Structure 1
Amino acid sequence: MTELLIFCFLVGAVLGQRFRVLVLLPLTFVMVLVAIPVGWMANVTFLESLKNLVLAAVALQAGYLFGSAARFALASARAARVFARPVNTVR
């Protein structure tokens, strides 16, 4: 379970670097479609499978938020360095 959450977080972070927020909807839908047969193969109960799916979706969204924040932080640091204005101390 922990490996799944880490993987979903990292996938969300990568998607947050490059895509808009609407990419999360189809990805969550695909995750639901994949989770049903995986739950049957792993022989887990329906409620445990649903809990795992919800936690994976939350980890995906948290990773997306982290990746998006990192993208904007890097862009603002780059812009501050490129467009730095000299300070006029002598008038």
Structure 2
Amino acid sequence: MAGLLIFSFLVGAVLGQRFRVMVLLPLTLAMGLAAIPVGLVAHLAFFDGLKGFAFCALALQGGYLFGSLARFWLAAARASRVFARPLKTAR
């Protein structure tokens, strides 16, 4: 379960770097549709599968938040480096 949560977080972080927030809705829906047969194959109870799906969805969204914050932080660092150069004045 922990490995799946880490994987979900990392996928969310990658998506946060590249996409807008609307990518989370179809991805969460696809994860929910995949959780039903995986829970049946793994012989999990319905509520155990639902709990795993909820934790993975939360990890995905947390990773997305982390990735988008990292993107904006890197953009701000890059912008401050570009615009913080002193102007050369004639003497």
Deviations 1:15-46 (A, max 9, x none): 00000000000000000010000000000000
Unaligned runs of 5+ in 2: none
- Structure 1 alignment gaps of length 5 or more: none
Let me know the Cα RMSD of the aligned residues: 1.0
How far apart are 1:85 and its partner, in Å?
4.5
- Counterpart in 2 of 1:57? 57
Match of 1:31?
31
TM-score (norm 2): 0.93
Equivalent residue letter for 1:16: G
TM-score (norm 1): 0.93
Q: Identical aligned pairs, as a percentage?
A: 68
- Hey, which bits of structure 1, 4+ residues long, moved more than 3 A? none
2:4 matched residue in structure 1: 4
Aligned residues: 87
